[in-house]
Amino acid sequence: MRAFVVDRYGDADTVQGRDVPDPRVGADDVLVRIHAASINPLDLKIRAGDLKVILPYRAPFVLGNDLAGTITAVGSRVTRFTVGDEVYARPDQNRIGAFAELIAMNQDDVAARPAALTAEEAASLPLVALTAWQALVERANLRPGQKVLVHAGAGGVGTIAIQLARHLGAHVATTVSDSKADLVKSLGADVVIDYRNQAFETLLHDYDVVLDTVGGETLEKSLKVLKPGGIVVSVAGPPDPTFARELGAGPVVRLAMAALSLRIRRRARHHRVRYSFLFMRASGDQLREITTLVDAGTIRPVVDRVFDFASTREALAYVEEGRARAGKVVVRMTP
């Protein structure tokens, strides 16, 4: 099969398109012919080697973290799916490889594709929708009437998180550039902060939850908008000891993660709030919950641009250079 492979950690030149063996299908696996896959900032971090401590992939490996396609074969113990089913998924972190013609995944990580979506739209959702779900529903337990700040509301995670938070009955604020204000308002944002000209930390107060996708100074300033007992869930900040335990990391890695997050955890305690690092996980069950919301029209994907599969390197560069205006960038298999 044809795939885009990371030959070594590094810059854009380390990703090459070439023929590789078809994936092996285990007893609990489904084999999916991929129709579309989407680009995530995670792909760029993996390619650069920024996450080697968390995700120690051995090069060469196929890149790509979410997809939509058709099942072409099933393992002997598969009960959820049959050949011909249209599905979408975020594969388990140890089995990535969506920038390819085929992928094998455990059936538990896969869900039926939302009926109303094209393959390109469906491929844009799994990673960002699962991130939003795990941050707002699982980690923050967001409830009706609470106030949530979603940073980078026009981004892949942000566009879905705004819609999910609104569905959960929350009052939603978000940070975007002024040109994207109308988009995030249409998604359900109640308060829109132009991050280029306004200081969100001086305008927002007594929030229950912050979803941080930016990190750095934005993360630290976010502590100031929370009420006592509030929580900032970050996908861009430093890993914390809880994540190290979930990862099953050894003592050295646990100590390193504790040290990396010590500053932000101390600052959170000073403000009487909580800091939580999130690295989303694959979940077919949660994707099925998300599918219900998509089919009901509660959540809609936002796709910025679609590239042909042969142009996957160009699609990665487009995201890396910050040229995407809103939502996700997708690569589509040519017939």
State the CATH number of the domain containing residue 254: 3.40.50.720
Judgement on whether residues 14 and 33 belong to the same structural domain of the protein = yes
Judgement on whether residues 144 and 247 belong to the same structural domain of the protein = yes
Q: How far apart are CA 104 and CA 3, in angstroms?
A: 13
Burial class from Cβ neighbours inside 10 Å (0-12, 13-18, 19+) for residue 124 reads: buried
Q: How far is CA 171 from the centre of its chain?
A: 22
Judgement on whether residues 195 and 69 belong to the same structural domain of the protein = no
Judgement on whether residues 11 and 24 belong to the same structural domain of the protein = yes
Count structural domains, the chain. 2
| pLDDT at residue 246, rounded to an integer | 84
pLDDT band at 322 (very low <50, low <70, confident <90, very high): very high
| pLDDT at residue 251, rounded to an integer | 86
Q: Is residue 297 in a domain?
A: no
Judgement on whether residues 173 and 263 belong to the same structural domain of the protein = yes
Give the pLDDT mean for 64-83.
98
Beta strands in 63-164 (DSSP E): 67-74, 86-89, 102-106, 110-112, 147-150
Give the pLDDT mean for 257-272.
95
Q: Is residue 294 in a domain?
A: no
pLDDT band at 112 (very low <50, low <70, confident <90, very high): very high
Range of the domain at 231: 127-277
Helices first, then strands: H and E counts in the chain: 12, 16
Give the pLDDT mean for 179-193.
98
| pLDDT at residue 330, rounded to an integer | 98
Instruction: State the Cα torsion 292-297-298-302 to the nearest 10°.
Output: 110
| Kind and range of the H or E run holding 31 | strand 29-39
DSSP state of 100: B
Give the pLDDT mean for 217-241.
97
Tell me the average pLDDT of the chain.
Answer: 96
Give the pLDDT mean for 307-326.
96
Q: Is residue 18 in a domain?
A: yes
Whether pLDDT at 152 is above 90: yes
Judgement on whether residues 193 and 214 belong to the same structural domain of the protein = yes
Task: Using alpha carbons, list the distances in angstroms from residue 102 to 7, 96, 122, 198.
Answer: 19, 11, 17, 46
Q: How far apart are CA 228 and CA 234, in angstroms?
A: 18
| pLDDT at residue 58, rounded to an integer | 93
Q: Is residue 192 in a domain?
A: yes
Give the pLDDT mean for 179-184.
97
Contact (CB, 8 A) for 193 and 174 = yes
Q: Is residue 155 in a domain?
A: yes
Q: Around Cβ 179, how many Cβ atoms within 10 Å?
A: 12
For residue 259, give every residue at least 6 positions away whose Cβ sits within 8 Å of its Cβ, in sequence order, or none: none
Give the pLDDT mean for 99-110.
98
Backbone torsion region of residue 147, taken as left when φ is above 0, otherwise alpha when ψ lies between -120 and 50, otherwise beta? beta
Pick from 245, 289, 307, 240: which is nearest to 268 by CA? 240
| pLDDT at residue 171, rounded to an integer | 98
Give the pLDDT mean for 289-295.
98
pLDDT band at 301 (very low <50, low <70, confident <90, very high): very high
Which SS3 state, helix, strand or coil, does residue 63 take? Answer: coil
Judgement on whether residues 137 and 256 belong to the same structural domain of the protein = yes
Whether pLDDT at 167 is above 90: yes
Q: Is residue 314 in a domain?
A: yes
Whether pLDDT at 335 is above 70: no
CATH number, residue 68:
3.90.180.10
Judgement on whether residues 116 and 133 belong to the same structural domain of the protein = no
Backbone torsion region of residue 83, taken as left when φ is above 0, otherwise alpha when ψ lies between -120 and 50, otherwise beta? beta
Judgement on whether residues 141 and 241 belong to the same structural domain of the protein = yes
Judgement on whether residues 159 and 272 belong to the same structural domain of the protein = yes
Judgement on whether residues 119 and 133 belong to the same structural domain of the protein = no
Q: How far apart are CA 117 and CA 136, in angstroms?
A: 24
Q: Is residue 290 in a domain?
A: no
- Min mean pLDDT across 36-50, 184-198, 250-264, 310-324 is at 250-264
Q: Is residue 292 in a domain?
A: no
Judgement on whether residues 253 and 323 belong to the same structural domain of the protein = no
| pLDDT at residue 62, rounded to an integer | 98
